[in-house]
Chains A and B, each alone.
Chain A
Amino acid sequence: MTTFLQLMLNGLGKGAVFALLALGFVVIFKATEVVNFAHGSLVLFGGYLVLVTKDTVGWAAAAVIGIVSAGLLALAVERLLLARSRHADPFSLALLTIGVDVIITEEVVRRLGVSLPFIGDAWDAKPLQFAGVTLFRTHLVALGVAAVLITAFFLAFRYTTWGIALRAQAENPEAAALVGIRRSRVTASAWLIAGLLAGVAVLFIATQDFSGAGLSRGTHSIALAAFPAAIIGGLDSTAGAIVGGLAVGLVDALSTEYISFAFAKSAVFLVMLVVLVVRPAGLFGTRETTRV
């Protein structure tokens, strides 16, 4: 029973970070219908900035620099590359993001030395023991941060002008343009937010508690592992990002113990496959309806 409880806690803690990552995919997809495959490289870039600045400015300031830098890089990618192809098909733009991803990732990995750069200084490897189970501080903070950010986005989508503009654009881009919603502003803000989220997520990923590895190519792989989370929840659903993220964390933890470690990696994709067969738009995604 203790083992089961511990695995549930491990899974939920990791799931919170996957939810943050999935939300990054969702924000951009909701605004532009583009799947951003460069999300992993934004995560790496944010982490790299934390790494190179933390000895000079201290960890907290470095964390802010990392988050802002990842946001600005995402904004730059959108403004300089995607905005220039505004009539391009979302699928073509998704392919473009793969190219961006490769370039940024390879450059960051090239710059990383032989050290093991862990960047979750404030919470990493400081576990708490409680009633026979271990609570990893990284997981706890990640759960808290994810809860706050996701609630904030949920409210912003629903009640702010920006949120309404974004939803309107997602619903019907032409009608949104006709009522004066500036497509470029909505799109740019979505990319900026996704980048900021990537910058936040890496502070939890490149830790002993979460990945057992410092900033490396593996960090990028973990960020991409959040893609099934977004798909499971529904690519255009904020609530789906949470459920998908937690589902990925739990499936991974439980299948490691009750089936096998090797199976755990495919288990997440198996769940994704089942969800897609039963609900092609994901658990909470908008079903596409066509008038016939």
Chain B
Amino acid sequence: MRRLLFKAAAVALVLPLAACSTKGGAETNSTGVTDKEITLGVMADLSGPFKSLSTAITQGNELWAKDVNAAGGVCGRQIKLETVDHGYKADTAKTLYPQIEPKVLGFVQLTGSPVMAALGKNIEADKVTTTPASWSSELLNNPYAMIVGTTYDIEMIDGLSYLQEKGMLADGDSVGHIYVDGEYGANGLRGSKYYAEQHKLQLHDVKITSTDTDLTNVVTGLKGQGVKVILLTTTPKQTGSAAAANKALGLNVPILSNNPAFDPALLKSPAASALDKLYIVASTVPFSADIPKAKEIAQKYAAAGYKEPPNAGTPYGYAVGEVWGTVLKKACENKDLTRDGIHKAMQQTTSADTGDLVAALNFGTPGAPATRQVYVAQPDASAPGGTKYVQPLFEAEAAKAYKAPHEGQ
């Protein structure tokens, strides 16, 4: 009898302890969460081919964290960012990931398709919700990828529709597409191929690598093919080279690019005078956009005293923060601040509002891009951030009908 009593007492002691497991959510601790802090990871490219964009996104993330913390934090906790630089190298990212992953609840930024491809399985296994600063719809097969904005394929479809609507392209025309090897380029090409099939365009695609910089010979070849438009899913340096060759060779056709292909630094390069034919498609507003939230961020950016010139990455980085804020609040309401809880909260987020920094987002359909709306912008040296938008948010009919690779799976 005494033994039975002892056992009952032991069970009574253990039960409250079990109730204190991480599932207890907002009141208890899980990976990257303490009573006072929520730590989010930033795996950025601060030294590689996309360093300008990624640096600006990181600064946007920081400005958001600062604002949230000044307003009392989320779920009674301050937001802390843990940042590492992988330089757009998948092998470096592979080494850094095991060091940063145990410290964070999720990744507010993970720049680069090759990096996301290398870490995709780890992210899935560790159930760590991640916002890739890489907009490939192929990534949407990973349930933990929370892509803020539309994807490269849809950017191309929307962009081509815009050019056709403006009379710069007609059915049956010849079009050149220069794209970098890897998921970034392949996904942009998927969009242009889809549109080309719909509109009987003759698509001449040229695959390059991210380290190639001189595209003069490639553009010479495209000129020989009589292209009416050049599409670019490239790095900013490659965009500069293609634009310079487009003008120098007397081709002078419109150039349509995915969002990472432009960097305002190009406006200070010898290619600057050749950028007037460039149209950039993105689902984030330009830095200088005439909307209240973008203006507010521009002021905060100036006040923060960052040395680097701003670009569209800053409002995007802030917008990603806002989406994370929405997801974290939902997880807090659900009383589940674990990684599982964040994932569940993401799927429940069907209307994340970023003050129009990014089109309205819906993460409720697995495999589908969160939006199909884009802005079209053009380089403008006089605008802070280097671009002005020439077309407000819109969604082409062709983009509505397009089925992303993992949609409905």
Q: CB within 8 Å of B: which residues of A? A: 2-3, 6-7, 10, 114-116, 118, 120, 124-125, 127, 129, 134, 136, 207-214, 218, 221, 252-253, 256-257, 260-262, 264
Give A55 to B116 CA distance when docked, in angstroms: 40
Whether a CB of chain A sits under 8 angstroms from the CB of B258 is no
Given contacts A212-B237, A213-B237, contact A118 B220 (CB under 8 A): no
The distance from the CB of B273 to the nearest CB of chain A, in whole angstroms, is 7
Whether a CB of chain A sits under 8 angstroms from the CB of B216 is yes
Q: CB within 8 Å of A: which residues of B? A: 51-52, 55, 206-209, 211-218, 220-221, 223-224, 237-238, 240-241, 244, 248-250, 265-266, 268-271, 273-274, 308
Give A125 to B271 CA distance when docked, in angstroms: 7
Residue among B224, B248, B274 facing the most chain A CB atoms (10 A cut-off): B248
Number of A-B contacts (CB under 8 A): 97
Cross-chain contact A115 with B268 (CB below 8 angstroms): yes
The distance from the CB of B257 to the nearest CB of chain A, in whole angstroms, is 15
Cross-chain contact B207 with A116 (CB below 8 angstroms): no
The distance from the CB of A2 to the nearest CB of chain B, in whole angstroms, is 7
Given A10-B220, A212-B238, A213-B241; 12 other pairs, CB 8 A cutoff: A7-B221, A115-B268, A116-B237, A134-B248, A208-B241, A212-B216, A212-B237, A213-B214, A214-B269, A261-B206, A261-B218, A264-B217
User: 17 A-B Cβ contacts within 8 A?
Assistant: A2-B224, A6-B223, A6-B249, A10-B217, A10-B220, A116-B266, A208-B241, A208-B269, A209-B244, A212-B216, A213-B213, A213-B237, A218-B213, A257-B221, A261-B206, A261-B212, A262-B207
Cross-chain contact A212 with B244 (CB below 8 angstroms): yes
Give A159 to B77 CA distance when docked, in angstroms: 81
Cross-chain contact A256 with B240 (CB below 8 angstroms): no
Cross-chain contact B308 with A118 (CB below 8 angstroms): no
Residue of B with least CB distance to A136: B248
Residue among B220, B240, B249, B268 facing the most chain A CB atoms (10 A cut-off): B220
Residue of B with least CB distance to A13: B216
Give A207 to B217 CA distance when docked, in angstroms: 15
A residues within 8 A CB of B214? Answer: 210-213
Which of B206, B212, B220, B273 meets A3, CB within 8 Å?
Answer: B220
Which of A10, A208, A218 meets B244, CB within 8 Å?
Answer: A208
Give A124 to B248 CA distance when docked, in angstroms: 11
Residue of A with least CB distance to B274: A125
A residues within 8 A CB of B248? Answer: 125, 127, 134, 136, 209
The distance from the CB of A126 to the nearest CB of chain B, in whole angstroms, is 9
B residues within 8 A CB of A212? Answer: 213-216, 237-238, 240-241, 244
B residues within 8 A CB of A125? Answer: 244, 248, 270-271, 273-274
Give A267 to B266 CA distance when docked, in angstroms: 31
Cross-chain contact B51 with A7 (CB below 8 angstroms): no
The distance from the CB of A93 to the nearest CB of chain B, in whole angstroms, is 30
Give A10 to B223 CA distance when docked, in angstroms: 14
Which of B52, B211, B240 meets A114, CB within 8 Å?
Answer: B52
The distance from the CB of A266 to the nearest CB of chain B, in whole angstroms, is 12
The distance from the CB of A207 to the nearest CB of chain B, in whole angstroms, is 7
Cross-chain contact B51 with A257 (CB below 8 angstroms): no
B residues within 8 A CB of A7? Answer: 217, 220-221
Give A264 to B212 CA distance when docked, in angstroms: 12
The distance from the CB of B192 to the nearest CB of chain A, in whole angstroms, is 17
Give A7 to B216 CA distance when docked, in angstroms: 9
B residues within 8 A CB of A136? Answer: 216, 248
A residues within 8 A CB of B213? Answer: 211-213, 218
Residue among B206, B211, B216, B271 facing the most chain A CB atoms (10 A cut-off): B216
Q: 3 tightest CB-CB pairs across the interface, nearest first?
A: A212-B241, A3-B224, A125-B270
Give A22 to B51 CA distance when docked, in angstroms: 33
A residues within 8 A CB of B268? Answer: 115-116
Given contacts A114-B308, A257-B221, contact A134 B249 (CB under 8 A): yes
Which of A115, A118, A134, A256 meets B270, CB within 8 Å?
Answer: A118
Give A115 to B240 CA distance when docked, in angstroms: 13
B residues within 8 A CB of A124? Answer: 270
